[in-house]
Structure 1
Amino acid sequence: MQPIDQFLSHRLKTLRKEKGWSLDKTSKETGVSKAMLGQIERSESSPTLATLWKIASGFNTSLSAFIESNQDVSTGNEIREADQLRHKPSIDEMLVAPLFPYDQQYGFELFELTLMPGYERLSDPHVKGVTEHVIVIRGEMELLIEGKWQPMKQGEAIRFAADKEHGYRNLSDQPAVFHNLIYYAES
């Protein structure tokens, strides 16, 4: 597996080429500065997860398209282990295991996410129709939904419209681990 910065560089260049977009056009579509896009393409900068989301949304693609280098779709049973998939795809203090990258057949992607103690991330709205399903596996965390932080503990689950501003935080002194199933409504 190639280092994440090289993967991101290659993926961004490939998507821009497929769309025929300049860096200016990509900046307008994603809301990410031309300078930052250039740094990512030259493997000079590691973006935050929020920046990766902006880029993915601008290209109308899934987040896993930017963090999972092997996106072969399985036609049968598939076993994937979070311990083997878990990594830090950005400069954020969040660990990500892409359990099942986006597959158009199913319309979703499934992640195991680990929030380190004290971590907080606000997320811009995703494209219209995106829904997130969060299930806390270990620890405690909070979700920002409709402007209010919702405490969640192990075993609790929630579904919310992710096409509105939302966020995740861990105020405890222990890591919080949760599954996040992100469903993309058909365009």
Structure 2
Amino acid sequence: MTKAIYQHISLTLRSLRRARGWSLDKTAAETGVSKAMLGQIEREESSPTIATLWKIASGFQTSFSSFLEEIEGYPDQRVQRSGRPKILHPADNKIRVKTLFPYDARLNCEIFLIELLPSCEHLSPPHKHGVTEHVIVVRGKMEILVNGRWQSVSQDEGLRFDASQPHGYRNLTTKTVSFHNMIHYEPAEND
């Protein structure tokens, strides 16, 4: 991951904390991420894993993609992304994430292209209540952990599930698997 991504994550975290008037202690209580780790992320001394970033996003009730790039309004516009998927953390070197469509408040969703390298297994903690994931395999064959059971999903197949439970993705093959992951958030109560 480039230094620019670390900076963006740091600035986003700091900005969210300040906007809510949260101390590091309050942020740790709301996200389930230690105060020490949050401080290291803000100071760009540590890069969060995908799981840690999800905890932070869930604690702030914000989108995952807001930590990866600036979210601007894209109403009725085609969005093109260039470049390669990002490795967010050295320990996550077998999973790469590329934002295709960042969070859209009107649609309450964001869409990613995710690559799982051979022998990758990524376990995700529960997201906040009301989050639904749609996984569509673009290339290869993978397994998705839902309701405590691994389910096989092949190219051109998909699986939709409640992501407010522990879940995961794994690639048991010798080739890279690519899939689209649409994260759909429950509308805010004031919508």
Match of 1:77 in 2: 77
Q: Residue 26 of structure 2 aligns to which amino acid in structure 1? A: K
Q: 8 Å contact 2:79–2:100 — kept in the other structure?
A: no
Deviation at 1:85, TM superposition (A): 5.7
Secondary structure class of the residue paired with 1:84: coil
TM-superposed deviation, 1:89:
2.6
Partner of 1:95: 96
TM-score, length-normalised on structure 2?
A: 0.92
The superposition leaves residues 115-143 of structure 1 with CA deviations (integer Å, 9 ceiling, x where unpaired) of 11111111111111110000000111110
SS in 2 for 1:101: strand
- Cα contact 1:67–1:89 (8 A) shared by 2: no
Count of equivalent residues: 185
Matched-pair contact (CA < 8 Å) for 1:65–1:102: yes
Cα distance in 2 for residues equivalent to 1:59 and 1:66? 11
SS in 2 for 1:99: strand
Please give the secondary structure, in 1, of the residue aligned with 2:55.
Answer: helix
Q: Distance in 2 between matches of 1:183 and 1:50?
A: 17
Q: Deviations over 1:120-179 (max 9, x none)?
A: 111111111110000000111110000000011111111111111111111111111000
User: Which letter maps to 2:104?
Assistant: D
* SS across alignment from 2:83: helix
2: CA distance, partners of 1:40 / 1:63:
15
Note the C-alpha offset of 1:80: 1.1
1:104 is displaced (CA, Å) by 0.7
For 1:15 and 1:143, the matched residues in 2 are separated by 32
CA distance in 1, matches of 2:128, 2:75: 28
- 1:13 CA drift (Å): 0.6
TM-score, length basis structure 1: 0.94
Matched residue, 1:178 = 179
RMSD: 1.4
Alignment of 1:7-18 (within 5 A): 7-18=8-19
Q: Which runs of 5+ in 2 are unaligned?
A: none
Matched, 1:166 2:151: no
Quote the sequence identity (%).
Answer: 51
